[in-house]
Amino acid sequence: MRYAIRKYDETERRRLEALAALLDPFTFHQLKQIGIEPGWRCLEIGAGLGTVSQWLAEQLGEQGDVLCTDLQTDFIADIDHPRIQVEKRDITQPPPEREQFDLAVARAVHHHIPDRDAAARNLVGTVRPGGHILYVEPDMHPAFCDDHPVWKRLWQAFFQWGERRDIDYYTGRRVPAQLAAIGMDIVSVRGETVLFNGSEASKAARDLYRMTFDAVLQPMIDQGFLAKSDSEEAYALLDNPEAWLMSLCFFATHARKPLAADGGEGQ
């Protein structure tokens, strides 16, 4: 399975820490809206550092548990929690038969996966009838209407660079239709966009974007997607407390697997 960020090193760990700092509050709020119940069995796909799994494990009481998975488990292997099990799992591969999770969560994973239909079907296949799915995925649209021309150009280049790699930065808006097409009931879709500047108060967003730029801007310049001068200007904006910048929007889609028509065991 191909994944655009290939290095799982300390730099990537710090980038994932910034991603979690930015997205955890919104994600936890959406999970609270679902109404997690003690005793639930939960699955996380592409867990990164596992912050969502660890939060979930604290909501489930002594009987519940979380299967925390990723394509690459180096960052989660050391999680030591009585209700968390860590497993290597590729969501492009069919899940083991007869999984019956009450909740499956995938955040910032789906847009990286070329065959998103297969991945969505696999995720749906892990959930019991009546069970819940939460996808949290980016949608680039706010960055395209930012006040700073260079910020817009940078994200347009980013979008095109992503398209070449089958990464879809409009995935956030596409998830509900994709899940509905495979029979899920869509409960809610909500987005969060952070407006941030170059001050300490915006640390999570600044750190995330700076570290993401460190990882991808040079290849984007080398491959002709972005002018070097634009890259330099974009870095300068990240340090400017007077420049308020639009982040990407992250849409949270909450879906439920219908109960079988006979009201029971089905699917």
Ligand X SMILES: C[S@@+](CC[C@H](N)C(=O)[O-])C[C@H]1O[C@@H](n2cnc3c(N)ncnc32)[C@H](O)[C@@H]1O
| Complex with ligand X: residue 75 or 230, whichever CB lies closer | 75
Residue 43 binding ligand X, by CB under 6 A: no
User: According to CB under 6 A, which one of 18, 20, 42, 211 is a site residue for ligand X?
Assistant: 20
> Angle between the 203-222 and 228-238 helix axes, to the nearest 10 degrees?
170
CB 99 within 8 A of CB 93: no
For the window 22-41, what string marks contact with ligand X as x by the rule CB under 6 A?
-x------------------
State how far the Cα of 180 lies from the Cα of 247, in Å rounded to an integer.
27
| Complex with ligand X: residue 168 or 230, whichever CB lies closer | 168
State how far the Cα of 9 lies from the Cα of 28, in Å rounded to an integer.
26
Residue 56 binding ligand X, by CB under 6 A: no
Look at residue 49 and give its three-state secondary structure. Answer: coil
Residue 48 binding ligand X, by CB under 6 A: yes
| Complex with ligand X: residue 108 or 237, whichever CB lies closer | 108
Burial of 103 (0-12, 13-18, 19+ CB in 10 A): buried
Q: How many CA atoms lie within 13 A of 103 on its CB side?
A: 29
For the window 61-80, what string marks contact with ligand X as x by the rule CB under 6 A?
---------xxx--------
Residue 267 binding ligand X, by CB under 6 A: no
What order do you get walking across the sheet with 185-196 strand by strand?
A: 84-88, 65-70, 41-45, 101-107, 127-139, 245-256, 185-196
Stretch that binds ligand X, among 19-27, 29-37, 126-134, 222-230 (CB under 6 A): 19-27
Q: Which residue in this structure is represented by tokens 């955890």?
A: 24
User: Between residue 109 and residue 128, which ones bind ligand X under the rule CB under 6 A?
Assistant: 109, 112-113
| Complex with ligand X: residue 113 or 238, whichever CB lies closer | 113
Residues of the shown chain interacting with ligand X in the complex, contacts defined by CB under 6 A = 1, 3, 16, 19-20, 23, 45-48, 70-72, 90-92, 107-109, 112-113
